[in-house]
Amino acid sequence: MISEDKNHHLKRKNKSSTQLIEMAEVKLLGVGGSSYSRRVEWALKIKGVKYEFTEEDLQSKSPLLLESNPVHKKIPVLIHNCKAICESMVILEYIDETFEGPSILPQDPYERAIARFWAKFLDGKCLEAVGKALWSKFGEEEEKSKQEAYEVLKIVDNELKDKKFIGGDNIGFVDVAANYIPFWLEIVEEATGVVLVTSEKFPHLCAWRDEYLNCSEVKENLPDRDTMLGFFKAKVLAATVAK
C-alpha cells in the first residue's frame, strides 16, 4: 500500500530555481471512457472537491495503480492524503463522509437504505441485464435477454414517475451509480444496433436522461461521444469476427 508520509513533495527544477510542488491532496486514477471512473468524478464535482486526474492505460497499468489497488488492479482508485480507496461505490460513500458540500446520500437512515438498495440494483442486476441484451447478438437467447432488460428498465422507469432524479430534486447517490444508462447505453445501442430504450416504452427514464445530461456536474465532464462510439464499434467488430 502507499506510504502515509504526508510530507512527500515532488521537486522540479525550472530555469532559475527549485520549486516545491505539493502532491495533490486528492488524486483519481481512472479512465475517461469508463462509467465507473466518471461516477467518482461526478461525486467529487457535486462536493466541489478539486482533484488531479490521471488517465490510466489499462494495457500497461502504472506502478501507482498496481500499488494502490493490489487486490483488483482496477480503476477507479481515489488517493486522498496518500491513502488509496478502491471500488467505485465504496469511493462514493467515502467522498460523502469525508468532504463538506451537498450530501450525495440522504441523511435519514431509512432513506439511505433505500438509496443504497437502488444503487445496488442499478449497478448489479439492472446493468447486467442491460449489458447482456445489448450484446445479445453475439451471445445466446437474444429475445430472452431483451425481455429481461425491458423488465429491469421498466422498474427504473416506474421509480422515476414523479421524480426529476432518482435521488429527488438533485442528482445523488443512485443517479451517479446509474450513470451508464443516461450516457453509455445509447452509444452501445448505436454500435450494436440493439435498441432497448425508447420514449414510448420508458418515458420517465428518457426524461431523466435529458435532465441528467444537462446537470452542470455532468455535462462538462463527459467523454467524447465519437471516441466512445468508435471504441464500441471496434468491440462489435471484434465480437463479430470471433463469432
Partner 1 sequence: MENDKVILLDFWASMLGLRLRVALAEKEIEYEYKEEDSASNIKSPLLLKMNPIHKKVPVLIHNGKPVCESFIALEYIDEVWKDKAPLLPTDPYERAQARFWADYIDKLYENFGRKIWSTKGEVQEGAKKGLIDSLKLLEQAALGDKLYFGGESFGFADIALIGIYSWFYALEIFGNFSIEAECPKLDAWDKRCKLRESVSKSLPDPHKIYELLLELKKTYGLE
Nearer to partner 1, 1 or 195 (CB): 1
Cα separation, 40 vs 34, in Å, equals 10
User: Taking CB under 8 A as the criterion, which residues in 204-243 touch partner 1?
Assistant: none
Region of residue 81 (left: phi > 0; alpha: psi -120 to 50; beta: else): left
Among 70, 101, 102, 139, binds partner 1 (CB under 8 A): 70
Among 29, 86, 176, 215, binds partner 1 (CB under 8 A): 86
66 contributes a contact to partner 1 by CB under 8 A: no
Cα separation, 26 vs 7, in Å, equals 14
55 contributes a contact to partner 1 by CB under 8 A: no
87 contributes a contact to partner 1 by CB under 8 A: yes
Least distance between partner 1 and beta carbon 13 (Å): 34
93 contributes a contact to partner 1 by CB under 8 A: yes
User: Taking CB under 8 A as the criterion, which residues in 101-130 touch partner 1?
Assistant: 109-110, 112-113, 116-117, 120-121, 125
Among 83, 201, 204, 235, binds partner 1 (CB under 8 A): 83
Cα separation, 169 vs 218, in Å, equals 15
Nearer to partner 1, 181 or 218 (CB): 181
Nearer to partner 1, 78 or 197 (CB): 78
Nearer to partner 1, 97 or 162 (CB): 97
Asked whether the beta carbons of 130 and 152 are under 8 A apart, the reply is: yes
Query: Residues in the site for partner 1, rule: CB under 8 A?
Result: 70-71, 80, 83, 85-87, 89-91, 93-94, 97-98, 109-110, 112-113, 116-117, 120-121, 125, 155
